[in-house]
Amino acid sequence: MSSYESPVVILGARSDIGRAIAKGYAQAGCAIVLAARQSQRLEADRADLETRYQVHVRVVEFDLNHTEPDAFFAGLGEAPGTLVMVAGLLGDQIESENDDAEAALVMHANYAGPARFILAAARLMRGRRSGCIIGVSSVAGDRGRAANFIYGSAKAGFTAFLSGLRARLVKSNVHVITVKPGFVDTRMTAGMKLPPLITAQPEDVARAVLRAHAKRTDVIYVGRIWRVIMLVIRLLPEPVFKRLSL
């Protein structure tokens, strides 16, 4: 019997990180709900997970911009034991700077949209007095950098939201985990020149998530070197920081 709260609902399950996390929880014996846009594309994943790990897997439609959170969870028929929010959008910094609609899309996809779904799940878990909420944020939210400050600002808001929610729910026995990956080799980062020594794979993120869930860790960096890197970046004096090409 798995020690993780089940079912595990993964929002953004078509992403590389979402797929890796689904595999990790299925391997641990959890029932899984794969939620994403164009969810029919997840049928092969569903069949593979059920066959390989002998767990129940459902596929449901989920659109961060158009699905109503309360209606989504009501449609599941049961409250999630674990909610993993991995939906997000990197966007393009230059496009976002020059197009209000693009900037709003990045901000909504990385903060306001995920927060609404997490709040809806939190209400259910608080009433039941159990559950785990896992939000995949980013090291980009630790300090606004010129190279990606729109994406980073949304992730900073999401990180602060998760921190406050964690404190709010602690007496309700609902655990909230903040996951901060650095560079991850995924389809979203395809074409970017990523430094190999500090670039993780989706499976690395999945292992870190399950380990944090089992240990009830609050905040994790993937991998650990990012904790040191971001500490140095946060401690840089503003006159120095704003002149760096970061």
The overall average pLDDT reported for the chain is 95
Pick the CATH number of 8-241 from 3.30.1390.20, 3.40.50.720, 3.40.50.2300, 3.40.50.620: 3.40.50.720
Total-model pTM: 0.94
Where residue 1 falls among pLDDT bands split at 50, 70, 90?
Answer: very low
Using one digit for the tens of pLDDT, what is the confidence trace for 101-138? 999 999 999 999 999 999 999 999 999 999 999 999 99
Q: What is the pLDDT of residue 159?
A: 98
Domain boundaries, the chain: 8-241
Q: What is the pLDDT of residue 190?
A: 75
Using one digit for the tens of pLDDT, what is the confidence trace for 138-152? 999 999 999 999 999
Catalytic pick among 4, 25, 151, 221: 151
CA distance 88 to 86: 6
Q: Is 4 a catalytic residue?
A: no
Give the residue from 142, 131, 172, 169 showing the smallest Cα distance to 246.
Answer: 142
